[in-house]
Amino acid sequence: MKKRPVVFSLVREQSLFMTTIMAVLTFLATVALGIALAIGTGAIRWNNQWDLYATVQVSDSTKINSVEKILNENKSKLESVRKISESEMIELMKSWVDDESALKNYLPTMWEIKFKNDSDLKSIQQQIDKNGQFLTHASALKKPISTGWRLVAVCGLMLIIMISAIGTCILYITKNTAMLHRRELEILNQIGANDSFVSRQMQIIVGKISTIAASIGFVCALPILWLILSVARASRTGLMAMITLNCFDWGLLILLPIAIIIFAIMVTKKTTIHILENQ
């Protein structure tokens, strides 16, 4: 069956502008979503990694035996127990205190413990709190985790701004095209063409441009995301070393340009029909 030709189209300058701006915005949106997903995944992994870890500090030497007794009595509930040596603590504090001999007088006795489950952690914490300081790694790392979620929120806000900018560009292009082709629209109305037929012409045009632009933006964003992830993992420190993209994250990234194309087509249809009804 012979295809019907498109009744009107965007002028060359409009096509180039729309393709360029949508490619750039898709690129930025993909990078923003990729970073948000990577940091979010890293924050979850980081939090889960330390949920069952805790450090016990005893500054009062008279209570060291009591803490050791509690740990020995609850060995079945512990995955591992490691007493941190004095040399290790001195090494950790070396950048803060130069005089090692003075430092030794203030060092507490410390254990690093990994529990088998969360209920065991809470029960032993209640016993140790009377003799020393019990600090879970998850609570100690709340600030970096909180910072990670704030970065996710910022990236999410950037993504919303990009999508809004795409919608604004489509609105402008559609309205401008309707003004340029006012005469053709009048003729179409006179010969009985309905609004859905006219809007479909614009949807075909915008759909083609959006597909090309979204593909370009997405492909260009992938190496940037790989670079960001590789640099973060190379740091091997803290939350940065944990950020990554899993299969679900990549699935969402692939769906983003598709969603942008569908969004562009929907905005075009709604805007075109609104213009036709009010002209």
Per-residue pLDDT tens listing for the chain (279 residues): 444 444 445 566 777 888 888 899 899 889 989 988 888 887 777 766 667 778 888 887 788 888 888 888 888 888 788 887 777 777 766 666 666 666 666 677 888 888 887 777 788 888 888 777 887 776 766 777 777 788 888 888 888 888 888 888 777 777 776 666 666 666 666 666 666 777 787 788 888 888 998 999 999 999 998 888 888 777 555 566 677 888 898 999 999 999 988 988 888 888 777 777 776
Residue-level pLDDT at 94: 65
Assign 79 to helix, strand or coil: strand
Residue-level pLDDT at 195: 67
Assign 56 to helix, strand or coil: strand
CA torsion angle 93 97 102 105 (round to 10) = -30
State phi, psi for 99 to the nearest 5 degrees: -85, 100
Residue-level pLDDT at 5: 44
Residue-level pLDDT at 9: 54
Look up the pTM and report it: 0.66
Residue-level pLDDT at 218: 93
Q: Can you read off the two tokens belonging to residue 103? A: 């430092």
Residue-level pLDDT at 215: 93
Q: Could you tell me the CA-to-CA distances from 240 to 100, 235, 236 in Å, in that order?
A: 32, 7, 7
Residue-level pLDDT at 258: 92
Residue-level pLDDT at 102: 60
Angle between helix axes 247-278 and 142-180 (nearest 10 degrees) is 30
